[in-house]
Amino acid sequence: QNCTSTVWDTALISHALQEGGISPTHPAIVKAGKYLMKRQQKRVGDWKVHNLKGQPGGWGFSDSNTLNPDVDDTTAALRAIHPFRMGRQGPAYSSLWKKGVSWVLSMQNLDGGWPAFEVNTDKIYLTWLPYQGMEGFSTDPSTADLTGRTLEFLGKKTPLHLKDTTPLQRGLRWLFRNQEKNGSWYGRWGVCYIYGTWAALTGLMAVGVPTYAPAIQRATRWLVSIQNEDGGWGESCRSDVEKRYIPLGASTLSQTAWAVDALLSVQKMKSDENNQKAIVRGVHFLLRNGQRREWMDSYPTGAGLPGVFYTHYHSYRYIWPLLALSHFHNSGG
């Protein structure tokens, strides 16, 4: 790992625990909320160059990052502190909340999607610079994972509605335009097509896209088609390099959880028998293998620079299965 991921881990773990039924008043959740509250960035950084109207309010990836917030960490932190707006410290959290949501909305690209760090820095000529891997970090274009996760946050945690909110409409149109022919979406910050498809599906469902929409049906069919015999899912980092889905040959806990969670978001009415069977098989895989310690359990599923470095988050084997299993339980599965 190239740096600490303290803010990211804290936000994800706190949210997953809350989704699993842990009360916001639990000491661990309260401590996490106070920690995240102190980590909101209040100073202007490089993001301001292309976002003149935006005001500070985002979160960064780690403790050492105090000037470069990003969209994914910001929505993750906002999910975690969402319940605190109603408590004794409600006014303080509400102020953080409003600034955070405002910053996220200000970061939407002109094409309708969301980037990570800076708006509208996707000029293709920057990828022509004669340095190996330059195309991976010289631009910050809209991505399916960031756009999907942002829509999921806005749809579930804010009062915005699809029928009367332009940012949501623009975001879902971006996802529809950028779906792969096989029904998947490419994920930039996770490995890779499973990650992108999970983010896109959960985002589209959260803002009210109907399950019968062709894009939704294509995506769920694709996920079911790549399920492994053991009930799990697994994808190689080579997918990120070759820009096509490449199976790992084994199932990982985080990628299985993403696939299960994506199918669950669509399967609320249990109307598709194939989807339901795939979900149950995936849940059984997670329950059987939660304590497993094999090579695939340290396989990196976080993406950094395509073809150069990937990240094994030690917390992912717990966070994403807990989230998926909680959603399965809460759905009455």
Locate 325 and state its tokens: 């299993």
Q: Which residues contact 230 (CB under 8 A, 6 or more apart)?
A: 251, 285
Q: Supply the residues annotated as catalytic.
A: 72
Cβ count within 10 A of residue 172: 24
Cα gap 162→170, rounded to integer Å: 10
Q: Which one-letter DSSP state was computed for residue 111?
A: T
Cα-based distances in Å from 13 to 9, 29, 76, 242: 6, 9, 10, 32
Helix-strand-coil percent breakdown of the chain, rounded to 5?
A: 55, 5, 40
Rg over alpha carbons for the chain, rounded to the nearest Å, is: 19
* Bridge partners for 311 per DSSP: 302
Q: For residue 177, give the 3-state DSSP assignment.
A: helix
* Bridge partners for 247 per DSSP: 235
